[in-house]
Every structure is written in structure tokens, then in C-alpha cells.
Amino acid sequence: MESRFQPREPLARQPQVTAETRCRLVSWLIPVHRHLGLSFEALCLAVNTLDRFLATTPVAADCFQLLGVTALLLACKQVEVHPPSVKQLLALCCDAFSRQQLRNLECIVLHKLGFTLAAPTVCFFLEHFTRVRLEAPGADPGEAADAESLARAVAELSLADYAFTNGYRRRRLRDCMAELRLLVALNEAALPLVLPAEVARKCPWLRGGG
């Protein structure tokens, strides 16, 4: 299923949306999902919905933030027991958009994506690999939980980086690891802020991590 939901060059058809503006929007959605108490799965699904829509439809720059909160709302309806209200989401945009505009865009996104929203995300795979790790003989549950927290923090940072939107084939995994090391190095100061404090303290190579 992953290949069906993996967007390819989502900005190729975008005359006004660039990798930089996409980075700014996703970097804004990351603290927004925390502020609203949403799951990492909701964030990942929102970014997947955003990118898949960008791959199908040109978006005006002044509507891009509205697309971001619309994608987040659709994701929350899939995976959250209590999704945020339209009023909450519009308030986060300083009420720059109307309820009707959000509802209209929601219908457009659903139509363009054929109502297929339940994509496998990086969150799903991290949870799967953690379960596999815990099933190994002599597995340390605490160590596995710490590794998952660190991997999730790095994955969160990668969501905003356009270099990671197209995925990596098996033969290019070394390239992926090099890109991830660069991503961590560039965000060394930010990583402790997205990690649980007890995990950050165990990573002395992070600034502020101990």
C-alpha cells in the first residue's frame, strides 16, 4: 500500500508553492499538533494528505495555510477520537479564513484524493519496528522506548524537509542515512525540544541534552 500513497515530486506542478514555503507550513503544523494534543500519526497523515494533494492540484500561496489546517482536520477525523473543531483551527490561522472556505477546500481535497486517506505513514512503521524489536530475545523495553522516541523526533524533523518526500529505494539507504545525519546535525539545538526530557539527557551529543 505504501507505494500507492507515496507522492512523487509533489511540488512539480506548483507555480507558487516552493520547498521553502512547504517547510515553513509543516514546521508550523508540528507545534500546532502538539498544542492541540494530537498524535504523531495525525501529523504524519496530515503531511501525507498535503503532499498528495499538492501532486494533483496547483495551490495559491495565500491559500496554503488553509490547505495545511484542512489536511490536519482530515487526518484527525481518521485517527483521533476527538478531532479539533473548525473554530479551533481557524483561530490558529488568526481567523484569516472562513468556515465555509475550509469546508469547501475539505470537499476539494477529498474529491481529488478519491476519498482515500488511510495511508501508511512513518509513524506506523516506527511502531511496527519497535514491536519487532521488543519481540527479540533479551529485548530491553526501556531501551526500545528511548530508541522509538529518538527515531520519532528525527522523523518529525524529516517531515518538513522536502528531500525526504519521495522516499528512498533500498539501494539508496546509505544516501538516506547520510541525509538523516545531516538533518540531525542541522537541528542539533532543536532536537532536545521535541524529545522527552529523560531521553534528551541520555543523548549527550545533543546541545542541552546533558
pLDDT tier at 117, thresholds 50, 70, 90:
confident
- Please state the pTM of the whole predicted model: 0.81
Over residues 147-206, the pLDDT tens digits come to 788 788 888 888 888 877 776 566 667 777 788 888 877 777 777 777 777 776 776 656
Give the start-to-end residue ranges of the domains of the chain.
2-112, 122-201
Smallest CA-to-CA distance from 140 within 17, 148, 45 is with 148
Q: From the CA atom positions of the chain, what is the Rg in Å?
A: 18
Over residues 131-141, the pLDDT tens digits come to 888 888 888 88
- Domain 2-112 classification at class level: mainly alpha
Residue 75 has which C-alpha cell?
Answer: 487526518
Q: At what angle do helices 40-54 and 122-134 cross, to 10 degrees?
A: 140
Instruction: Say yes or no to pLDDT of 67 above 90.
Output: yes
Q: Are 47 and 71 in contact (CB under 8 A)?
A: yes
Instruction: Say yes or no to pLDDT of 116 above 80.
Output: yes
Residue 173 has which C-alpha cell?
Answer: 539507504
